[in-house]
């Protein structure tokens, strides 16, 4: 008796410190996630891809979930509606992945690399949006569980492709 009416969640991962172009891209991606009717999930902090994507989804009247590394819900991006405070530090990255129906990895550093690894390990559909995690993902990519994209439009096309597979 699975819960079939739960809302579908797209997780957007990426660096806490990013250049302006990446931030712009993340904002557009967040907007597109909301416009497509999905809930946006990020790492919740008021920084980098997390903040930018949340802003985009918020401006498009989407619902935004933030999974914080720390213990205090108030320490979240101002564009997050629902704050989940974990106090697990980087351990919260696994929750980001498990709670998302599809994961999109934007440019980032070692934290984003761990999220990519966890998505592969837990067989979550993964979109790599201008992020290269090296050769470890090649097997999963050849099995159709990883799609590379270079724009938010391509990323959302990949999301839709994955979601059709999930529903069927």
Interface residue list for a copy of itself (CB under 8 A) = 1-7, 9, 39, 46, 63, 65, 67, 71-78, 80-91, 94-95, 98-99, 101, 109-114, 116-122, 132-137, 139-140
Shortest distance, position 15 Cβ to a copy of itself, whole Å:
10
Distance CA 54, CA 65 (A): 8
Shortest distance, position 91 Cβ to a copy of itself, whole Å:
5
CA 124 to centroid of chain Cα atoms:
11
Q: What is the DSSP code string of 16-61?
A: SS--HHHHHHHHHHHHHHHHTTPEEEE---SSHHHHHHHHHHHHTT
Distance CA 146, CA 144 (A): 6
Tokens found for residue 144: 């159709």
What are the two backbone dihedrals, phi and then psi, of residue 30, each rounded to the nearest 5 degrees?
-60, -40
Nearer to a copy of itself, 40 or 157 (CB): 40
Nearer to a copy of itself, 2 or 20 (CB): 2
Shortest distance, position 96 Cβ to a copy of itself, whole Å:
10
Nearer to a copy of itself, 144 or 153 (CB): 144
Nearer to a copy of itself, 99 or 157 (CB): 99
Shortest distance, position 110 Cβ to a copy of itself, whole Å:
4
């Amino acid at each position: 008796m699975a819960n079939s009416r739960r809302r579908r969640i797209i997780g957007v991962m990426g660096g806490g410190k990013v250049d302006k172009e990446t931030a712009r891209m993340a904002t557009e991606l967040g907007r597109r996630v909301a416009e497509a009717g999905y809930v946006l999930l990020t790492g919740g902090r008021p920084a980098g891809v997390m903040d930018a994507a949340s802003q985009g989804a918020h401006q498009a009247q989407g619902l935004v979930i933030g999974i914080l590394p720390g213990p205090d819900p108030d320490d979240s991006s101002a564009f997050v509606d629902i704050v989940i405070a974990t106090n697990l530090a980087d351990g919260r990255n696994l929750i980001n992945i498990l709670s998302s129906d599809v994961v999109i990895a934007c440019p980032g550093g070692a934290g984003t690399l761990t999220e990519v690894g966890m998505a592969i390990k837990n067989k979550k559909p993964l979109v790599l949006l201008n992020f290269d995690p090296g050769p470890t993902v090649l097997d999963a990519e050849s099995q159709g569980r990883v799609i590379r994209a270079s724009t938010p439009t391509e990323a959302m096309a990949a999301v839709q492709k994955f979601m059709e597979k999930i529903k069927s």
